[in-house]
Copies of this chain bind each other. A is one copy, B any other.
Amino acid sequence: MLSSIEATSTTAICHICQDKATGNHYGAISCDGCKGFFRRSIRKDHNYRCRFVNNCNVDKSHRNACRACRLRRCLESGMRESAIQSERDVLGKRQKLDGTDESSRFFDNLVDSEKLCLQLRETVIKSTEQVIYDKGKIKYENHPKIANLDDVRSSMHQQLVILVEWAKSLGLFQALPIEDQ
């Protein structure tokens, strides 16, 4: 209970610079910035030197001011050199978004269909909600749990938005640079 709250708050903050953490990287709860910084530092065998007294402030807005102190904090926070792997094979080139006639029509259609889907879901969930209410199994008017049906709906909406966004970018990619790659 308490520990879970504690755990949540612990995993939310970068132990090196107090920025928002994105998980456990190389042995320390950390942000993407510190993750990348540590990898680059180890890969390039950097030899940083603090211009002051190895005691610089390392937070989100100062973390790039002293590499020596940032790296020191990475190690102090538990990052291990051994977790850095050697370079991998190259991935493909990444794609750029654009928005032109053919493509945008495609996505307008997609978005429209997604809206329809959302409506369908709404209907299904609403009706179920109604049934559950009508059954009158329990009076949970003030029961905190009742919020869950709304949660279902709003979270679904969220997911949908992400899905559409994703479809947009991926689709744009494939329809536009036909001759590139």
Which residues of A pack against B, CB within 8 Å?
48, 51, 61-62, 64-68, 85-90, 102, 105-106, 109-110, 113-114, 116-117, 120-121, 123-125, 127-128, 131-132, 135, 137-138, 140, 143-145, 148-149, 151-152, 155-156, 159-160, 163, 166-167, 170-171, 173-175, 178-179, 181
Are A138 and B61 interface neighbours, CB within 8 A? no
A128 to chain B, nearest CB (A): 5
Query: Which residues in B have their C-beta under 8 angstroms from that of A135?
Result: 102
Contact A152 to B132, CB < 8 A, known contacts A65-B86, A113-B121, A121-B110: no
A133 to chain B, nearest CB (A): 12
Contact A102 to B132, CB < 8 A, known contacts A48-B89, A113-B120, A113-B124: yes
Q: In the complex, which residue of chain B has the Cβ closest to the Cβ of A179? A: B138
Are A65 and B87 interface neighbours, CB within 8 A? yes
Query: Which residues in B have their C-beta under 8 angstroms from that of A117?
Result: 113-114, 116-117, 120
Query: Which residues in B have their C-beta under 8 angstroms from that of A152?
Result: 167, 170-171, 174
Are A106 and B121 interface neighbours, CB within 8 A? no
Greatest chain B CB density within 10 A among A86, A124, A127, A137 is at A124
A65 to B89, CA, bound (A): 4
Q: In the complex, which residue of chain B has the Cβ closest to the Cβ of A103? A: B128
A63 to chain B, nearest CB (A): 9
A120 to B145, CA, bound (A): 33
Are B106 and A89 interface neighbours, CB within 8 A? no
